[in-house]
Amino acid sequence: METAPQSVWRWKIAAYLFLAGTGAGAVIVGILGDFAGYVIPAKIAIAFGVPAVAFSTLFLIMDLGRPTKFFRAMLHPGTSWISRGFFIVSALIISGGFVTILWVWPFGSVLGSREGVRTALEAITFIFAVATCIYTGILIGIVVSRPFWNNPLLPVLFLISAVSTGIGGVFFITPIVGSVMGIGSSETATFLTHLESADMILLVFEGIAIYLYLTLVFDRAPEAVGLLLKGKLSGLFWGGLLGAGLLVPVVIEFFAWMTHEGSSQSLAPLIAGVFLLFGGFLMRLLILAAGIRSPLNVRTPFRVRPGF
Amino acid sequence: MLTVEKANAGVPANGKSDRWIPSSCSLCYGNCSILAHNVDGVLTKIEGNPESACGEGRLCAKGVSGIMTLYDPNRVNAPLKRTNPKKGIGIDPGWVEVSWEEALDIAVKKLKEVYEHDPGELFLQGTTTCASEMHCGLFTFAEAFGANAVWVGGGGIHCGSGAHQIGGLMHASWSLVPDFKFCNYAIYFGASKGHSAGHVANQNAQLAADARARGMKMVVVDPMCNFAAGKGNEWVPIRVGTDAALALAMANVLVNELGIYDQHYLKQCTNAAYLVKEDGHYLRDAATNKPLVWDETGGSAKTFDTAPVDGMALLGTFSVNGVKVQPGFQILKEHLKKYTPEYSSGITTIGAANIRRLAREFGEAARVGSTIMIDGEEFPYRPAAAIYFRGSQGHKNSTWNCVAIDLLNHLVGSADNVGGALGFNPVCHGHPETGRPYYAPEPTPDGLMITGTWMHPHKPFPANDAAAPTTIGMREFFPWAMTSPFYGAADREKWWNRFDIKRRPKAMINFGANAIMSVGNKDVVADAFKDVFIISFDIFKNEMTDFADLVLPDTCYLERLFPSPNYPFIFNHPGSMGNWSWPIRQPVVKAVGQRRDFLRVMYEIGYRMGLLEHINDAYNTHFELKDPYRLKPDVKYEFEEIVDSALKNFFGAAHGLEWFKENGVMNWPKKAEEVYWRSRTPVRVPVYFEIFKTTGEQVREVAKEFGIENDLNYNAYQTLPDWNPCPSHECKDPEYDLISFYYRDTVHTNSLTLENPWLDEAAQMNDYSYNIAVNAATARKKGLKDGDMVWVESNYKRRVKGKLKMTEGIHPEGVAVASLAGHWSNDMPIAKGKGVFYNELIEVDYEHLDPGNLNMDLCAKVRIYKA
Amino acid sequence: MPRWGMVIDLLKCIGCYGCQTSCKAENATPPGVTLARVEVTEVGTYPNVTRVNLPLLCMQCNNPPCEQVCPTKATQQREDGIVYVDEEKCIGCKYCMIACPYGARYFVEEKRGYFGDQGLTPYEEVGYEEQRKGVVLKCDYCRHRIDAGLAKGLTPGVDREATPACVINCMAKARFFGDLDDPNSEVAHLVARAQAFQLNPEFGTNPNTHYLPAGRSIVSTEPPTKPPQKE
């Protein structure tokens, strides 16, 4: 009968992968923004990203059979990517937490002019943010018997998507925070305009990456690719991920870029952000769902009697 | 090895009880021996009993799942009385609990009423699932009561009358298996023995597996590549219901093209040499009335028992005292010529070249003339077997389908010879200490074989003379029927009126059978039961229970005592060499609620009706009790005492109930001449069926009296086998282009086990169990795809809905459904709605019965379309 | 130290589900958990087709991916090769289920019996231990039987009591159990056969459960020589 999607890790894990990616992506964007001099939006991005990562782990814990014993997950870093992830994400939360607390709120004065410390902290946070995006790809990418995942491109795809959804998060959150708190509107607008252009390119890359990915895994995982392209998941894949998650934000960003509209006054980034986030979540969900096991090979020799 | 003794020795010191109790399974009629683990009163595990030949320590999926039937919270736990007088499908009976005293009063009052008016108005119905208790409880009570209407739910009337009748007639046994240990070539026709469930499932599965590994070639003729075909070397897809056409063509090739047949066997063990007159009857000796044969050595006719065996003529035309006669075999040989492979190919869809090949392979594999030494004695060695069962026999041509297939065994002499087709245990010389049980086939004056033992009071042969019927089953008129489907047939009133039978069923005792589901179309069967007062022994309230007036909460097999779950050995005891095993069934846990054992309650009812003497006498007959163990007419026995007597009667005073409770099973070794008895036993079986012709002439005479001579089908009363079409082959409407059939799923027994959640879980994991299997190409042509909900509709406009399973493993014209699923009772919540209720498509009327043995035709002409 | 292994002869297996249910009875596994299971499929196209019955259980890999990914070390491998879950340590992350190539692991969502809202049967009351909720279960070759049997001086694979439940119950005697490192054991002999194979060796798992193929030539019939008879 019809191939069933992978059903062990479902929406909660997808939500974790998505939120952790988005948060880490926002942190990456924020730190890059800070290095580029967009201080206010960078602060907003980091202040959004770090809690998002922390929040994402709640989904992971919720998915456990025994949530209260989650801390045991750190006991096997020698070989388990969950244990390793535990440390990576914890490190991101801690160092990003310091960045947030010491720079953004409420202890902004503690560091004073010791910018070097902050830069170092941000650099460490940046590394762990990138590591978070990548490790989620390795987490499932190492599973040999699920050929749809078992591909070196997966961490790359996750990283691109994380940055893109991070931008989506920034799109979504920055104008709101900016207008509510009445800070940095022109700086924010310029920042967002740059991000729009960057994200447009990123989304094109993501589209190419998805295409490459499917081509690359097709030989080893035809059932999984079939599941996405024409099976149970095809509606979500074509309409959801490619349509709403990629095409729509690209179009919005393209028109925003064409009209050179001031982004802070425009709803465009906000709307694009919603679609970007939706697309990012769907991508995690679909990649998880398409991760079906290789069929077992029972070596039944099958031959027809000669002469018949 | 885990012995009972060892297991029971270790009662833990902490005062907890921990025992392995030997008993017998009864989640199907196979009754394999079990060990049940009782820890502090709770059943925690069922394993096979390695000390018994009946399973040798293995169990099927059902056997190990019995725990979930025992502990099902939906079990009936108290007697229930109906309050809603209206009966029908989906109508709430309005059950109220009553005490056992009140329930017994109601039952006894009603039964007395019937008894005093006419015992023939009582109808007894039982399930094959618990065949041993059913046979014991129903037949003893029927005997004591004087009731003559007994049927065995759906299992009985679907597979019994053809397969078991011919098994009894030709092999003195209930069923046939290849002698797996020696067989080199087995050809199965609609059978799955050794590959699925049923009689001797475990032992046969292993024997068949070992045979496969040894290299036995297995050819499976079946519309579906199912349990047996899926393990076979060759699957021969055949059009549903045409097995006889193939078998007869193979017989034709053997006899007329290849000249392969075992002359010595045919002369010694069959009536092939009996001389037949032009009127179709034997030429008989004037003095002794014995059939004559032509003695070629003396050039004269002699009685069959005085002529030298190898001098008998099989072929030729002779004149004896001016009467032109031919040996039966000569007539058979001519008769078979009609079945050319080309002719049969058109019927079966199997290529003529293939039919010739199969016949040649079978004939050559049989090694006619060879012998083998077993235990130091020489036996004929015929390692080829043709096996039929439910699939091939479940058609209007039931008798002849079985005869045609079995004929292959008799032509090459492989019947009950080493490597051939074995009946299960037709001969038993008894325990070495007591010589009991003892039975063996015996000859009639005509030399034909009467089985030594049987499951029913009346043996399959010789048949009674046909007579005008007075009973509601009308078996007097159908002497070859083992059971009558007329009780639930759509045209029963028409037939009763034809014979001016005024009797109508007034009351029914039902032992666990769900006849509303198991017989045929539910509305037809329901109509037959709606005006009958029904006393129903049940463990679940099923669809049949909805029609009951009184429900008595029965114990299940794990709460019950029974002395002989595997006796008679012809039914469910392993057939080939090895041990004889006589296990008992005993309670492995205490029955909860107010459950009471069917057998005890029936005995009590008989006692309260004043039938004690008759009941005790019936038990004496049933358990073959001899003095000093015969029951006395005026003593009311506890059931334990009866069981004790039965056991001591067979195995001596030291081996009564107490011994069996502790040891579980009595074993002794089989002898080669018990297993390979055919060449050692002076009995013959027919290959020319004068016996049927004789009955047919009597039937015609009786029919004349009632003016219905021309309303009858006499196909069953010929002297030689033919292929006759099923009604589904005769449907001319081109819209109905497929033929549906059912099969018995390996994880389920009848309709009962669908309520077992472990088995239901397994069935749900199987793509076929609960779905409608259709050939993939056929489905594509109709624009259907895997998983579609479809209707299967018969040409009688009856239809069932289910999920489509596209498969490559089915004949393009076939539609296959696993039987007896699709429960709708709310009181069986696990079973409800699972699978497809195939029997909805089955017509129950004379038109759809074998006219001789009354077996039902179970295929239907159908179309399928999207729901 | 022995290395316990199993051999399943697919030629002998008839797909009866006896292993699945006997495992259930032995280990009192909750609904949806089938530590031993059977997959029934077909191969070929009409009329050249056959059924394939594939009995599965934990392959007890020498190189178990489940053990590697387990973040809590709840999954461990004993020296005798048996891979088991220490239910005390398991947090139910299900990573092992993701990593197992054979679908041999099951998550227990809730303590619920086969009769749902009707409550647990007495058997289930005894059998479903509290700590099982929220953890992952897997086949461990009935290590309780093996260990108890060894303690009594019995030989797993030879003595019923010391042998996995599915093996002793197999009606076709298609399952064999024993010490793969003992060159004289039945399983060692069977594994040494040329046709013996492990499921998907490309996964690099090197299972201690081996199979013998269902292999035999499949013969079919040709199409009919004449068109079907018309009445």
Give the global pTM. 0.94
User: Are the CB atoms for B470 and B503 separated by under 8 Å?
Assistant: yes
Task: Determine, for residues C25 and B46 on separate chains, whether the beta-carbon distance falls below 8 Å.
Answer: yes
Question: For chain A, what is the total number of helices (H) and then of strands (E)?
Answer: 11, 0
Neighbors of chain C by Cβ distance (3+ pairs < 8 Å): A, B
Residue-level pLDDT at C111: 84
Q: Which pair of tokens denotes residue B10? A: 């270790």
Mean pLDDT, range B711-722, rounded to an integer: 97
Query: In sequence order, which residues have a C-beta less than 8 Å from that of residue B684 and are 6 or more positions away?
Result: B268, B269, B270, B271, B304, B443, B447, B448, B449
User: Residue A102 — very low, low, confident or very high, per pLDDT cuts 50/70/90?
Assistant: confident
User: Are the CB atoms for C134 and C92 separated by under 8 Å?
Assistant: yes
| Partner residue facing A75 (CB), from C44, C73, C202 | C73
A83 inside 8 A of chain C by CB: yes
Q: What one-character-per-residue DSSP string does C34-47 give? A: -SSEEEEEEEEETT
Chain C: give the shortest CA distance to residue A161, in Å: 22
Phi-psi region of B314 (alpha: psi -120 to 50; beta: other; left: phi over 0): alpha
Distance CA C229, CA B242 (A): 12
Distance CA A235, CA A225 (A): 13
Distance CA C201, CA C191 (A): 14
User: Are the CB atoms for B846 and B812 separated by under 8 Å?
Assistant: no
User: Residue C178 — very low, low, confident or very high, per pLDDT cuts 50/70/90?
Assistant: very high
Which is more confident, B576 or B626? B626
Residue-level pLDDT at A290: 96
**Amino acid letter at B316?**
G
Give B721's Cβ-side CA count (13 Å radius). Answer: 30
**Amino acid letter at C48?**
N
In a mutational test of the C interface, the residue from B58, B342, B746 whose CB has the highest number of chain C CBs within 10 Å is: B58
Mean pLDDT, range B355-365, rounded to an integer: 97
Interface A-B: count of C-beta contacts within 8 A: 7
User: Are the CB atoms for A281 and A18 separated by under 8 Å?
Assistant: yes
Q: Name chain C contacts of B227, Cβ cutoff 8 Å.
A: 14-15, 51
Distance CA B836, CA B214 (A): 38
User: Residue A306 — very low, low, confident or very high, per pLDDT cuts 50/70/90?
Assistant: very low
Chain A: give the shortest CA distance to residue C173, in Å: 19
- Indicate the SS3 state at residue B96: strand
ipTM attached to this prediction? 0.94
pLDDT in tens, B214-224: 889 999 999 99
Mean pLDDT, range B238-264, rounded to an integer: 98
**Among residues B806, B805, B838, B804, which one has the least CA distance to residue B821?**
B838
CA dist list (Å): B220 to B193, B716, C218: 11, 26, 12
Phi-psi region of C205 (alpha: psi -120 to 50; beta: other; left: phi over 0): alpha
Query: In sequence order, which residues have a C-beta less than 8 Å from that of residue B761 and are 6 or more positions away?
Result: C31, C32, C34, C114
Distance CA B517, CA B369 (A): 49
Task: Determine, for residues C50 and B762 on separate chains, whether the beta-carbon distance falls below 8 Å.
Answer: no
**Among residues B50, B15, B361, which one has the least CA distance to residue B185?**
B361
**Among residues B377, B382, B378, B381, which one has the least CA distance to residue B366?**
B382
Residue B188 in this model has a pLDDT that exceeds 60: yes
Residue B317 in this model has a pLDDT that exceeds 80: yes
Residue-level pLDDT at B340: 98
Mean model confidence pLDDT for chain B: 95
Helix H or strand E segment including B551: strand B550-553
Cβ atoms within 10 Å of B527's Cβ, excluding its own: 15
Chain A: give the shortest CA distance to residue C30, in Å: 15
Residue-level pLDDT at B5: 46
Among all chains, which residue has been given the structure tokens 């026709």?
A: B189
Mean pLDDT, range B742-769, rounded to an integer: 96
A2 inside 8 A of chain B by CB: yes
Distance CA A136, CA C95 (A): 13
C-alpha Rg value of chain B to the nearest Å? 26
pLDDT in tens, A264-299: 456 777 888 889 899 999 999 999 999 999 999 887
User: Are the CB atoms for B451 and B460 separated by under 8 Å?
Assistant: yes
Residue-level pLDDT at A171: 85
Residue A301 in this model has a pLDDT that exceeds 70: no
**Among residues B144, B153, B157, B147, which one has the least CA distance to residue B123?**
B147
Residue-level pLDDT at B198: 81
Q: Name chain C contacts of B767, Cβ cutoff 8 Å.
A: 40-41
C-alpha Rg value of chain C to the nearest Å? 20
User: To 5 degrees, how large is the angle CA B59–CA B440–CA B582?
Assistant: 30
CA dist list (Å): B458 to B479, B482, B483, B855, C35: 11, 8, 11, 17, 48
Q: Name chain C contacts of B749, Cβ cutoff 8 Å.
A: none
Task: Determine, for residues C71 and A74 on separate chains, whether the beta-carbon distance falls below 8 Å.
Answer: yes
- Indicate the SS3 state at residue C215: coil
Distance CA B484, CA B475 (A): 7
User: Residue B73 — very low, low, confident or very high, per pLDDT cuts 50/70/90?
Assistant: very high
User: Are the CB atoms for B808 and C49 separated by under 8 Å?
Assistant: yes
pLDDT in tens, B594-653: 999 999 999 999 999 999 999 999 999 999 999 999 999 999 999 999 999 999 999 999
pLDDT in tens, B327-350: 999 999 999 999 999 999 999 999
Mean pLDDT, range B805-822, rounded to an integer: 96
Residue-level pLDDT at A78: 96
Distance CA C44, CA B644 (A): 56
Chain C: give the shortest CA distance to residue B63, in Å: 8
Query: In sequence order, which residues have a C-beta less than 8 Å from that of residue B121 and are 6 or more positions away?
Result: B114, B472, B503, B504, B505, B506, B507
Query: In sequence order, which residues have a C-beta less than 8 Å from that of residue B267 and are 6 or more positions away?
Result: B273, B309, B310, B312, B314
Q: Name chain C contacts of B62, Cβ cutoff 8 Å.
A: 21
pLDDT in tens, B100-156: 999 999 999 999 999 999 999 999 999 999 999 999 999 999 999 999 999 988 666
Residue-level pLDDT at B6: 42
Q: Name chain A contacts of C211, Cβ cutoff 8 Å.
A: 298-299
Phi, psi dihedral angles at B121 (to 5 degrees): -90, -5
Residue A307 in this model has a pLDDT that exceeds 60: no
* Low-confidence winner among B209-213, B674-678, C159-163, C193-197 (lowest mean pLDDT): C193-197
CA dist list (Å): B112 to B104, B507, B649, B726: 12, 11, 33, 43
Tell me how far apart the terminal alpha carbons of chain B are, to the nearest angstrom.
Answer: 55
Distance CA B59, CA B42 (A): 20
Cβ atoms within 10 Å of C49's Cβ, excluding its own: 22
Q: Which pair of tokens denotes residue A191? A: 């920042």
Q: Name chain C contacts of A9, Cβ cutoff 8 Å.
A: 94, 98
pLDDT in tens, B449-504: 999 999 988 899 999 999 999 999 999 999 999 889 999 999 999 999 999 999 99
A298 inside 8 A of chain B by CB: no
Which residue of chain C comes nearest to A12, CA vs CA?
Answer: C93
- The C-alpha torsion from B283 through B286 and B291 to B297, rounded to 10°, is -90
Q: Name chain C contacts of B46, Cβ cutoff 8 Å.
A: 25
Mean pLDDT, range C9-33, rounded to an integer: 95
Which residue of chain C comes nearest to A84, CA vs CA?
Answer: C71
Q: Name chain A contacts of C50, Cβ cutoff 8 Å.
A: 300, 302
Which residue of chain A comes nearest to B233, CA vs CA?
Answer: A305
Give B166's Cβ-side CA count (13 Å radius). Answer: 32
Residue-level pLDDT at A265: 57
Residue-level pLDDT at B97: 98
Residue B538 in this model has a pLDDT that exceeds 90: yes
Task: Determine, for residues C225 and B352 on separate chains, whether the beta-carbon distance falls below 8 Å.
Answer: yes
Residue-level pLDDT at B338: 97
Residue-level pLDDT at B544: 96
Residue-level pLDDT at A299: 73
Q: Name chain C contacts of B47, Cβ cutoff 8 Å.
A: 22, 165, 168-169
Which residue of chain A comes nearest to B773, CA vs CA?
Answer: A1
| Partner residue facing B353 (CB), from C165, C225, C228 | C225
Residue-level pLDDT at C131: 63
CA dist list (Å): B62 to A47, B66, B240, B581: 61, 6, 29, 21
Q: Which pair of tokens denotes residue B273? A: 């040499």
Q: Are strands B507-511 and B217-221 parallel, antiparallel or unpaired?
A: unpaired
Mean pLDDT, range B704-724, rounded to an integer: 97
pLDDT in tens, B660-699: 999 999 999 999 999 999 999 999 999 999 999 999 999 9
